[in-house]
Each structure stands twice: as structure tokens, then as C-alpha cells.
Amino acid sequence: MSRFGDATTIKQVDEGRFEVELDGDFGMAEAVNGGYLMAVLGRAAVASSPHEHPVATATTFLRAAAPGRAEITVDTLKAGRTAATARVSLAQGGRTATEALITTGTLDASAEPTYTGERPAPWLPPIEECTEFVPPEGLTGFAAQMDLRYDPATMRWLEGRPTGVPELRAWFRLRDPHGNDAAALALAVDALPPVALNAGARGWSPTVELTWHMRAIPAPGWLALHGSGRLVTGGWFDEEVEVWDSAGRLVAQSRQIARLGRG
């Protein structure tokens, strides 16, 4: 089992009730990552459903979740033939940290897309031309788990030269190899730094709400992440992430609304 597989393992304790040990290495400081939480919630939804894939996951982030034990509650709202929907929440010490409405369905691995819009391939450079941040020896935490290779054109905000356009692009995989399952996609849609950093924002940007859709079963290999945003205004910004697999298919889409960091 991979490190991430271990970190997202849930234990059923009753009908619709699970426990998980949140792994601090999928987080920063005393808070675990939002994509990691969505991966865990998705596993609980699928375990409680006749369907295999979290097709739609609408998540609200209420409070930070800390490493350690957490309780997950799954309330089934509808169990249909094509899709089932559940309310899934994760709590620590009796306080809900995050809650999601998750619709599960079973995606067809052989389904051919009839429309995929513009292919992003032209504007993400080959992996060997991308920027890698090699974690220092002994580094733990989220950055040490992720292997992200950034399009250098979208990373000049690091040198104080944001492009002015809220976009970020990177190749993605886990350092400790983990297959491209739904849990990996949940991590991928929230793995990029905030796109608002390229619109002049600074510091940490708390995600308030994130909805993501699993659109296809991803092929093995690197995933391409394309992050963008439409509007930064009044302290709020949106961020969209598309995840494309090595077969050139759009496998996940997300949009989040977040608060600008206070720098």
C-alpha cells in the first residue's frame, strides 16, 4: 500500500460511520490538506454506495482538521440506479471540520468523450522543461509528498513577478507511487498553490467551498493540472482546476471559492 493509500484508509465502526487517522504529512503545520480530506470523504461515500466513483463532490470547509483521529458520518439522501447521493461530514472532538454532498455513480472505462473542448497539451511544457522543487533531506509535510513539475512561465510570482493572470500549470504525481484513483484526483484538484498568487495575492488563501467532478477513470502516469481563475474581487477569488491524464482525457474538473490571503 502507498503512503497515501494508508493515509486514506477508513475503518467502518457502524452503519454510515467510519474512523480515519489523518496523516499530518498530508498537510502543513497543524492542518491537513483539503484535497486529502475530500479523498477521505469520497472513500466513505463510495463504501456506503452501490456505485464506484465519486462523480460530484461539493465540499464546504468549516474549520481546519488536525492530524489524528477523525470521525466520518455518511447520511444517504438518495440511492438511485444511476446515481446515489450522500451527505458526508468529518468531525474531530464533536466539531464538524468539513461537510460534503457527494453523488456517486459508476463511470464507464470504455466511454468515448464526444466533446472535450480545446486540448490543453500545447500550453503545458514537457516534464523535463518544468520546474521541480526538490524537498530538502528530512522535509516532511505536504510538499514532500507531492511531486509537482511546474510550467516555469506560471511561477514567476516566486520572484515577485506575478504574470497578472491567475493561472498555474503543473504535472502531478505522488512521490510514493499511488495509482490514479478517485482519491488521487481529489488530491490533484487542490494541489496547486493558489492561482491568485499570479494576480498579486500573497500568503495562504483558505478555501471556503470546493466542488469537483470525476469525469473519467484516469490512465496511469503523470496527471496534468491546469489551474485558472476568472475574478479576484472584494477579498474573494475563484479557482478552476482541470486534470488531464496521460491518454489526453479530461478526468476531473474543480472550482473553488477562496479568500485572499492577508499576506
Grid cell at residue 178: 499511488
Residue 234 touching a copy of itself (CB under 8 A):
yes
Considering only residues 27, 34, 54, 166, which one is a binding residue for a copy of itself as defined by CB under 8 A? 166
- Within 8 A by CB and 6+ apart from 139, the residues are none
Q: Which is nearer to a copy of itself, 11 or 262 (CB)?
A: 262
Q: Cβ 201 to a copy of itself, closest distance in Å?
A: 9
Element (H, E) at 89: strand 84-92
CB neighbour burial string for 63-97, b if at least 16 within 10 angstroms, e if fewer: ebbbbeebbbbbeeeeeeeebbbbebbbbbeeeeb
Binding mask 38-77 for a copy of itself (x = CB under 8 A): -----------------xx-xxx-xx-------------x
Q: Which is nearer to a copy of itself, 103 or 145 (CB)?
A: 103
Helix (H, G, I), strand (E, B) or coil at 39: helix
Residue 93 touching a copy of itself (CB under 8 A):
no
With contact defined as beta carbons under 8 Å apart, do 254 and 211 qualify?
Answer: yes
With contact defined as beta carbons under 8 Å apart, do 73 and 98 qualify?
Answer: no
Residue 82 touching a copy of itself (CB under 8 A):
yes
Q: Give the footprint of a copy of itself on this chain (CB under 8 A).
A: 55-56, 58-60, 62-63, 77-78, 82-83, 85, 87, 96, 99-101, 103, 105, 107-108, 111-117, 164-166, 199-200, 208-209, 211, 213, 215-216, 229-236, 238, 242, 250, 253, 255, 257, 259
